[in-house]
Amino acid sequence: MSPSPNRIERTIHRFTEIVTTYNKSIILAVLLVTALLAVGLTQGAGQAQADTDEQIIEGTEVQEGLAYLEDNYETDGTNATTVSIYALDDEQSVLSRESLLNTLSYQQEISDSDAVAEVLEDDAFDGPPTAIGTELADEPNPDLQTQYEAIEEASDDELEAAIERTLGDGTFSQYYLPTEYTPGATESEGMRFTIEVDSEIEIGFGVESPHESVELLDETASEYENPSLVFLDGPETIAELNNDYLMDLVWLVVPLILLVLVVVLGFAYRDVTDVVIGLIGTTLALLWTFGLMGWLDIMNPDTAIIAPVLVAALSIDFGFHIFMRYREHRGPEEGIRSALARSTGAVAIAFVLVTVTAAVGFLSNLTNPVSVIRDVSIAITLGVLSALVIFTTIVPALKVSADGLWERFGFDRRGTPLGKGAYLKRVLGSSVTAAQRAGIVVIAIALIAGTAGGLLFFDLDREQFQESDIAEDPGWQSELPGPMAYQTHESDLANQFTYIDDQFQPDDQTVTEGGVGMTQILIYEEDVATEEAMQTLAAGHEAVDDADTDILASHGDGVPAQSPLTLIEDIAAQDDDVAEKFGQADTTGDEVPDSEIEPLLDAVSEAAPEESAMLLEKNGDSYESMVMVVPVTESMGSDRADELFGVAEEMDAVSDHTVTPVGAGTVNEVTLEEITDGIILTMLLAFAGVIFVLVLVYRFLRGTATLGAVTMVPIALTLGVVFAGMYALGEPITPLSALLVSILIGLGIDYNIHISDRFSQELRRTDDTVQALRETVTGTGGALLGSAVTSVSAFALIVVIPDAQLSSFGIVVALALGASFLMSVFVLPSLLYKWATYADRSPQTASAD
């Protein structure tokens, strides 16, 4: 056996002796570093980069369709930013005279402010008030005052007639009125109007310093009633709703988590001082994590939530191992410093291994195409490194100081490790008995369960995100006493947000224009001036009318999709030449051209060149593609993608062309599929990296490479069990799942390393495999039990939050940690027993501890 491992161990023990000997200096040094790192918290939070590398969907049908649209179709050419303001009133119609006048008053008020006036585009206002006022004014481009006076002075009959004429256009009303509105109706609970401002003005969630004009639009809108004016992206509006929601979540889950932590930690430690020191260490590790994220400019809402939660879980685990091993190691007459130096040194090697392997697992996500996941992975790695430093320096230093103080006052600071109690010792020790008597059976059951669960990965549902309605009553959470009761769903603002989300298109732009409110169904790769192409469009219109109106924006009798067919009908109603050619082309009378189609399309293109360029591609004398534009209500989600893919399939069934739906939903869906496939790559990279590190380190440190490979086996099985649990609970695969895989590997390996490293130490003390295993699972296994119960309880409580994304995250992480603990304490011992029985183990020199 090479002396190198002992030199490494002696170096670590010398370090821990310095920490415990010069404990006051260590405390001061760590606090000074903490103060320096904490300055990073003042650097300001960055915005989460939610973009995805475009190359991920390269070569897919949707990406090819998107590229084709960008290359061959014109957009509206505007560079202005469009602001949407919603007028809502559930007591009287927003199309009443009073509501229309109040809406125009708002437009006049903001126009009179210098901050808004300087960023307004020409003809900045659009929507029902503008259209109705213009209709009644009977002059081109009337100003706001003229529109106001025209509506104010019109008789009731004149106003109703103007509304019917103006809003009878389905194309106009589909965007500005809710989906429940029937074109031409004179009453509605809501409407939107738009304001175009300079394109450099940033609007929306996550904007750090909104322009003065944006703040003014928001503040002024909040002052109006009858109808209520809502600026959905207004900073004050978003802040108010987020504050209500976050405070509800904090009051709902934090008291429960704190209660569980106090109860579980109190039971596990049975010592207030150890609980306090452990929490101080966790707090410092979190401060280091936040500070490093701030200094490296990766602080954003995602990293600031996910990374600290996981760092806290790992810190609690480190604390258990420090304190429980100290209780095991301190002899009846031994002093605090020497016992703590030996116990800290004994677990420090495992801590280093955990840190390195966890970092490998998390950093495997640097291959992930979603940049926010890359940021979170870096943030978690920084947190793991912070926990390593904190729990090998200031935590043992504080322990020396605190225990020394208590013992000077006559209190005995010796304690019993968690796993050494009579009951837990029997329970944990049962895994050693099982390993000795039926190890092959235990291993076989674990392999079958893990493999079966792994196969279920391919049957898990795929979703882009899990949507929650904050205005929906979650049930029992709203009936809790006092401030713990969830109340956000009862606020007027939450109900307004939900109504807007359900009833209005996200925007009126296609994905090629940077919007998400329209999906373009592209028909191309053949001449489209054919009967078959026209029948394809007819099938598309029929399919969208039969589709789910909660997803597609329905108005009146159907979904007002636009296509060359609707363009032909609209132009024919206004142009006699087009009407004549349409009659000649439609020989069957079903309003679908079946002959002489190219001359008809030429006539339409000549009569309406701008509209035709949005729906038809003409190259030379031939028409090479055409587009059907479908309005949607849902801005994202797999349901939207499924619905549009379904429409395209019905069109494709009657077509010889390539039919491809291109929109935010379909682009995100194929992106999700590619990310899901990338999870497998992430797993392979993480496993390969972790196995390489474990094999190398165990060969160098413990003299056996195979122990590293054995240590990794339960992690693979844990993944399978977690996938089976997700399948049973109906939890879908989302882009976040790639990160969860790393969490399983990065944190799950923690439990296994502590068991296998402790076993190798015990095996060097005594060559009795059973005794070494029993000491391992009752000593280190007890610490793992306390850590697992604490962490699983905290994550499981996240389930009470009425937010699908957060509750799903809590369920999966709790499931992963629970499965990792069971595998490490009840399956790994059987693997280690067989390894010790059959492996070629060279004699080991006694450890320094």
| Mean pLDDT, contiguous 10-residue spans, the chain (849 residues) | 56 91 95 91 53 62 88 71 88 93 94 89 91 90 93 94 88 85 90 89 68 87 88 72 68 75 81 91 91 83 72 86 88 84 89 85 76 81 94 95 90 78 84 93 94 88 65 64 64 76 79 78 90 93 86 75 92 91 89 92 92 90 92 72 90 91 83 71 78 85 85 89 89 71 72 90 86 91 87 80 76 86 94 84 39
Phi-psi category of residue 669: left, alpha or beta, with phi > 0 → left and psi -120 to 50 → alpha: alpha
Instruction: Report the side by side order of strands in the sheet with 228-230.
Output: 120-126, 190-197, 81-88, 228-230
Q: Specify whether the CB–CB gap between 48 and 206 falls below 8 A.
A: yes
Q: Which two tokens stand for residue 777?
A: 């699972």
DSSP 56-97: GGTTSHHHHHHHHHHHH-------PEEEEEEEE-SSS-TTSH
Single out the residue of 204, 55, 85 nearest to residue 515, CA to CA.
Answer: 204
Tell me what pLDDT residue 3 has: 38
CA-to-CA separations, 206 to 110, 216, 233, in angstroms, rounded: 24, 18, 10
Task: Please state, in angstroms and rounded to a whole number, the distance separating the CA atoms of residues 380 and 372.
Answer: 12
Tell me what pLDDT residue 735 has: 67
Q: Which two tokens stand for residue 252?
A: 């709902």
Q: Identify the three-state secondary structure at position 622.
A: strand
Helix 97-111, helix 144-153: angle, nearest 10:
160
The one-character DSSP state at 555 is B
Rg (CA), the chain: 33
658-662 vs 518-524, strand pairing mode: antiparallel
pLDDT in tens, 220-246: 988 998 898 988 777 667 666 666 766
What's the one-letter identity of residue 326?
Y
CATH number of 4-43+239-466+669-838: 1.20.1640.10
> Which residues make up the CATH 1.20.1640.10 domain(s) of the chain?
4-43+239-466+669-838
Spell out the alpha helix ranges (H) of 457-574. Answer: 492-503, 531-545, 564-572
The one-character DSSP state at 363 is H
Q: At which residue do the structure tokens 């119960």 appear?
A: 789
622-631 vs 616-619, strand pairing mode: antiparallel
DSSP 7-44: HHHHHHHHHHHHHHHSHHHHHHHHHHHHHHHHGGGGG-
Q: Specify whether the CB–CB gap between 700 and 793 falls below 8 A.
A: no
C-alpha triplet 24, 30, 35: angle, nearest 5°:
125
- Give the count of beta carbons closer than 10 Å to the beta carbon of residue 364: 25
Q: At which residue do the structure tokens 């809710």 appear?
A: 178
Which residues share a beta bridge with 552?
A: 632
- Whether omega for the bond prior to residue 210 falls within 30 degrees of 0, making it cis, is no
What's the one-letter identity of residue 469?
D
> Per this entry, what is the length of the chain?
849
Tell me what pLDDT residue 844 has: 43
Q: Which two tokens stand for residue 506?
A: 């996200």
